[in-house]
Structure 1
């Protein structure tokens, strides 16, 4: 970076980086780890502007205060490396001394207006430099400093200002004394102080009387020399640090084996030079172990009425889920809060149905602290178990980090998106979770970084997943799945009214109750602007609606206290949000031949799946289109086989299929479809096509069929029932094996939808097919010989 001109020496404004334990001298470089938010912002601003920044030290040199030293260093950023935990490793190179004129530490990005300081070199300063050069050999022999590279640099440096700062960097480690040298602008004064320190230290090493410091500078130089301390005070600092760590070890409540291990590490650290990399690694390890909450435990509250009130307050609907959670809490109350025999709860369901908020409500009901461990995309086993200390940049695993963030040994830890774990050459993180979630093993969980057993038996683990299929069988065996399938339209409307809309009004600065959505507007917002099982997209659309209203209020010049209540109808909704992007597929109002309505379950909720069958003269081929999966194609072949086996029952020739081609199409071909639950709709549409009997237009069908004509249960029935309701159907044919799930359906849905429970294909055909309206015109050639007579 080029040196500033004289015009830039005054009132220059730069980002401000305030350090706690390092002083950067001009002409030298330091590497620091930055974790504070304001410090990261200052570095990012300097990098974006390709400018320098100001480096100063807090006034007390240790804890952040509102005061900083007035003399700092103008520095450039040489290198920035991102590290774990939103930390940055930054290499700074000092350029010039500066004096702070104004400093704003309260801003999001601290900045300072400074005056850059340029020293004038006295004529006799070079003599002091030569005198110090002659002592460098003796200094290296007795003290081992400075090193060879530094000596070469000092020998090649003719600038007294740079020579003094470089020598001070090598010799002086005391923070306050380095700051005093930084505040000496005149290089002659700095060199005299360093010469006095060298003489003082050499005399002490040789057991000789200490010489009286001699300076040729001003009063500030004499005063500083008389107050000078040895440039290395590591023995006393090491003792103080060791005593402090031992006090913390005694107070942390760690088990005896942990205390014994850390005591050994403290002794080892006290014998190391403080500035070495090995000492930094040891210090970081000790600090990490001491920060683990070995004995801190928050008292648990097991009040079922309080838990019920919290669940009802935070969540609408989900009655089955709430009952299951209350059962779980009741068992914990009877076992004294240590139900080790119970499995880990895992909330399974589509995005946006409230899995995370349910876990947070459980933590609140128990009075425990709550932390989240996001597992999405984790592909390294060390993320769970930690890295061994032999690796550069090692750190503990996410479980231990969660304990440190919680500050207690018994928090509620949410393992979010457990089904998104990835297995690759770096290990299997799902296998690492086996020990974490097994109550027989997790009381001795071994983190590789700590290399000490950590008791996780008091932790309440809760997992979330969109599906359990990606999980390995051993891990799935340790989880008790609580399925949250999604909300009905009525539930979404109530959630929107009670929770989402008031929250978005407050976030957008609008008064409570300002927007009044009609029932028709809610229905159009839910069905036309969202397609989901949860309510996340619904909240986004409500936020967009609030933004439009807020902008309209500002443009009209209304104050917050004068905003008028607005009634939102479907027309107003379309004016604010534009045309609805989704169109719900509805059934045809009239019965049709060869068209039956099946139902499917997707991660976004249930959907109506029309099944169209067309027969034509041919050679007995079966064609299935519409992105049908392998299982669905097998269902189509099974349906055709059943119809062929029962041809005479429908008045068809035995060989009718050999003279026909059957084309099965599933509209909305852009959507993949698969599964056996369309078997019942396939056989009804096929019989309708070959017999020309219309299918009821108000009836949906779901169920798996066998070659014997039995109807087997299917999954996702609740979502399918909701899809049938949205499509405006009045009846549903479902397997009798799913009848036990009737209690899980919303009451409002079952009142408007008649469910027919069947166990055979014959029952279904009698319900779904209507009588032929008129004689067949083109199908007489397929009739049986008896009919032809």
Structure 2
């Protein structure tokens, strides 16, 4: 009886194994056809055919059988010769970019240049562009718009926090669970050889115990090398020269120099007040109305209300906080709309069951239903304060500059430009310089440099000091940079510190409408600094009327919008004596010539 039970089971097993063999043969035949139809280069096809021959001789139960099969399936799915058709219409692309994003003239100009050259010459290597700017200015979204204007596929790779080079280059097939890197996986996803790849947050790549991903990106982002990019898993070269790589970063200081050298850096500065007003009215508000189920027949936000939100409730270079504040206003109005008792307002007619969208032409929520008599809701400045609460940012320049020893400097941060108050006071002591405010080494040295310059020129500026006695004799000076919880460093505070010290020792007030930036030398020369546009925008938003800048930064004013330049007066200086003449009302009549500025005789 036992033998009779075993026989049919054994027969079933033999039949089942036979079916498996047939299926395996069919899969191998299908793989062989895919390899022939994949359009691989000859050297890649040789590798694939060789692996296929190994697969045929390999028993199905071996672990390497599944690995080899997965490898061949990846090889057949990669776009070795598939290219998406491009839309090379520079007029249409210009229109699309202008509709999607306001401003960004330098960025749009570079993209249009690429399109024009691409139209003249069909075979052109994809450039490696790097958009550098503060958060919220639209670096990521403009990459998507570029892909749409080109008619290419778009793929985004987030590099923030990546610390393993295998994420870029893949794992070798000898490891269990190996897989290709993100570049090859992205190409498999889009299915074309010429997509737009967005490498987001490339400045936040960190080196870990498994290698440096930034070093692995060197081959990917080198136009001379990426035509033969080799993934560790794929182990055969893949041509990336037709891929348009776009990287985004908040700063270039954390990007390795070798990687930065391979990219074309395009700065994307923050927005001016007028640009934010335009973006809020034409882009952000319609988006928020749609997301909250409202229409422009239900909510009207006055221009003065938007201005109030920009100036008193946001302080940023981008528009993310502005969008969140507009969303808060829309939510408050949505509550009022629902409380009116018109539930139909929240369900558009074209979204109700049984109603086909194509049966309705120009679906407009407000035209399909009867609006309550108290709609639309008009939001003005008073309503903004009721919804968002008290103003978060108020101008305190006049109140802070009402005593000697205070001046306004300009600083650059990852979030854009900011004004920075510098305060100083003196007390009895033994000649010490006290610095507070979490300052870095560069700013500490600037403070020491500024104090020594003032000590050397005390008599010229009428600072009361006895002959032969040092200015710091029996006196301690304390210099403070407010917002002590924020770390500060950088070579642009020297001019401001000198002005503060002269104000402290002379007892004169610094002009309340003057902001300044610039580094100094021991001889009193004013050196150029970076971030001029962001700093000027911060001064303009804070209500300043004059800005003291190094003369060598005059070329950087080209990037400042004309509307901002019309509201400000720029004082271009090359020596500290010129700075002090401008910073104080009436200047110093006794100082008429900069003796240290000796012209070169070469």
TM-score by length of 1: 0.67
Helix, strand or coil at the partner of 2:426: strand
Query: CA shift at 1:585, angstroms?
Result: 4.4
How big is each residue's C-alpha offset from its partner over 1:320-357, in whole Å with a ceiling of 9 and x where there is no partner? 222233233334334434146xx511001111111111
The count of residues paired between Structure 1 and Structure 2 equals 557
How big is each residue's C-alpha offset from its partner over 1:233-260, in whole Å with a ceiling of 9 and x where there is no partner? 2332222112211111121111112222
**Structure 2 counterparts to residues 215-230 of structure 1, below 5 A:** none
Asked if 1:270 corresponds to 2:56, the answer is: yes
Tell me, yes or no, if the aligned pair for 2:580 and 2:587 is still in contact at 8 Å. Answer: no
Tell me, yes or no, if the aligned pair for 2:503 and 2:509 is still in contact at 8 Å. Answer: yes
For 2:439 and 2:175, how far apart are their aligned partners in 1?
50
**Structure 2 counterparts to residues 393-404 of structure 1, below 5 A:** 393-404=177-188
Corresponding residue of 2:43: 257
For 2:570 and 2:57, how far apart are their aligned partners in 1?
80
Query: CA shift at 1:308, angstroms?
Result: 1.3
Corresponding residue of 1:661: 476
CA gap 1:442/1:590 in 2 versus in 1, 3 angstroms: closer
For 1:470 and 1:491, how far apart are their aligned partners in 2?
29
Q: Which protein has the bigger strand share?
A: 1
Helix, strand or coil at the partner of 1:506: helix
CA gap 1:535/1:201 in 2 versus in 1, 3 angstroms: closer
How big is each residue's C-alpha offset from its partner over 1:692-717, in whole Å with a ceiling of 9 and x where there is no partner? 22211111111111111111111111
Helix, strand or coil at the partner of 2:492: helix
Corresponding residue of 1:676: 491
Tell me, yes or no, if the aligned pair for 1:234 and 1:274 is still in contact at 8 Å. Answer: no
Please, which moves more after superposition, 660-669 or 389-398? 660-669
Mark the runs of 5 or more structure 2 residues left unpaired by the alignment: 346-365, 589-602
Query: CA shift at 1:420, angstroms?
Result: 1.2
Highest Rg: 1 or 2? 1
Asked if 1:245 corresponds to 2:31, the answer is: yes
Asked if 1:574 corresponds to 2:385, the answer is: yes
For 1:337 and 1:689, how far apart are their aligned partners in 2?
65
Residue of structure 1 aligned with 2:116, choices 297, 315, 330:
330
Corresponding residue of 1:625: 436
Helix, strand or coil at the partner of 2:107: helix
Helix, strand or coil at the partner of 1:448: coil
CA gap 1:440/1:589 in 2 versus in 1, 3 angstroms: closer
How big is each residue's C-alpha offset from its partner over 1:172-229, in whole Å with a ceiling of 9 and x where there is no partner? xxxxxxxxxxxxxxxxxxxxxxx54635888xxxxxxxxxxxxxxxxxxxxxxxxxx5
Corresponding residue of 1:756: 571
Helix, strand or coil at the partner of 2:473: helix
Tell me, yes or no, if the aligned pair for 1:527 and 1:584 is still in contact at 8 Å. Answer: no
Corresponding residue of 2:324: 540
Asked if 1:529 corresponds to 2:297, the answer is: no
Please, which moves more after superposition, 683-692 or 578-587? 578-587
Helix, strand or coil at the partner of 1:384: helix
Tell me, yes or no, if the aligned pair for 2:385 and 2:391 is still in contact at 8 Å. Answer: yes
TM-score by length of 2: 0.88
Query: CA shift at 1:278, angstroms?
Result: 2.9
CA gap 1:663/1:244 in 2 versus in 1, 3 angstroms: same
Query: CA shift at 1:601, angstroms?
Result: 1.3
**Bigger relative contact order (CA 8 A; separation at least 6):** 2
Tell me, yes or no, if the aligned pair for 2:401 and 2:510 is still in contact at 8 Å. Answer: no
CA gap 1:701/1:469 in 2 versus in 1, 3 angstroms: same
CA gap 1:569/1:622 in 2 versus in 1, 3 angstroms: same
Query: CA shift at 1:440, angstroms?
Result: 1.8
Residue of structure 1 aligned with 2:552, choices 737, 741, 746:
737
Residue of structure 1 aligned with 2:336, choices 552, 564, 579:
552
CA gap 1:589/1:387 in 2 versus in 1, 3 angstroms: closer
Tell me, yes or no, if the aligned pair for 2:82 and 2:193 is still in contact at 8 Å. Answer: yes
Please, which moves more after superposition, 588-597 or 608-617? 588-597
Asked if 1:286 corresponds to 2:97, the answer is: no
Asked if 1:614 corresponds to 2:425, the answer is: yes
Helix, strand or coil at the partner of 1:575: helix
**Structure 2 counterparts to residues 104-119 of structure 1, below 5 A:** none
**Structure 2 counterparts to residues 414-429 of structure 1, below 5 A:** 414-429=198-213
Helix, strand or coil at the partner of 2:284: helix
Corresponding residue of 1:649: 460
Mark the runs of 5 or more structure 1 residues left unpaired by the alignment: 1-126, 136-194, 203-228, 774-789
Query: CA shift at 1:673, angstroms?
Result: 2.1
Tell me, yes or no, if the aligned pair for 1:585 and 1:608 is still in contact at 8 Å. Answer: no
Helix, strand or coil at the partner of 1:614: strand
For 1:645 and 1:401, how far apart are their aligned partners in 2?
65
